[in-house]
Amino acid sequence: MKRLAIAADHGGYPLKTKLIEVAGGLGWAVLDLGTDSAEHPVDYPDSARDVGLALQEGRAERGIVLCGSGVGACIAANKMKGIRAGVCHDTYSAHQGVEHDDMNVLCIGARIIGSELASEITRAYLGATFQNEERLVRRLNKVLALERGG
Ligand code: RB5
């Protein structure tokens, strides 16, 4: 079964339950890494780290991190080795980011879009697979070289 790790800070929390339902409905096993309330502040790098670690440790193949804008979570997640995160507030980016760029963490801002669009974006993201074409692999390898420092 495909596994998804999801986490949110207090700003992203309002979307989390809905997206867990969406992913579960698509047959994904969901690892919920919190937070569990919009009331208590949580630092978005901690949410991103929890999801990134789940991928690095092989506990999930894909991740979603939710914060207020999606931006902070994305910046933090991309600092982690092996993580290719993107903020997607449209369905095209959500599937093309996987198909062309092998995006493995989707970041969404719960203060930017509503739950129905976020659900569609999640479906597009989880339904997509990397297209193993030469030009895409070449570009991905260049990204991985950047990650190694050059
Ligand atoms: C929290 O208030 C907010 O700064 C955070 O959720 C996120 O938007 C950061 O990018």
Per residue in 88-107, pLDDT (tens digit) is 999 999 999 999 999 999 99
Per residue in 15-64, pLDDT (tens digit) is 999 999 999 999 999 999 999 999 999 999 999 999 999 999 999 999 99
The verdict on whether 95 is a catalytic residue reads no
CB 45 near ligand 1, within 6 Å: no
Reported confidence tier of residue 145, pLDDT bands at 50, 70, 90: very high
Q: What is the reported pLDDT for 107?
A: 99
Active-site annotation holder among 10, 40, 100, 107: 100
The verdict on whether 67 is a catalytic residue reads yes
Residue with tokens 């978005």: 44
Q: Are 73 and 85 in contact (CB under 8 A)?
A: yes
CB 11 near ligand 1, within 6 Å: yes
Per residue in 34-44, pLDDT (tens digit) is 999 999 999 99
d(CA 92, CA 89): 9
What integer is the mean pLDDT of 70-75? 98
Is the pLDDT reported for residue 67 higher than 80?
yes
Residues 6 or more apart from 129 whose CB is under 8 A from it?
A: 98, 99
pTM (two decimals): 0.98
What integer is the mean pLDDT of 72-91? 98
Is the pLDDT reported for residue 150 higher than 80?
no
Identify the structural domains of the chain with CATH numbers, from first to last. 3-147 (3.40.1400.10)
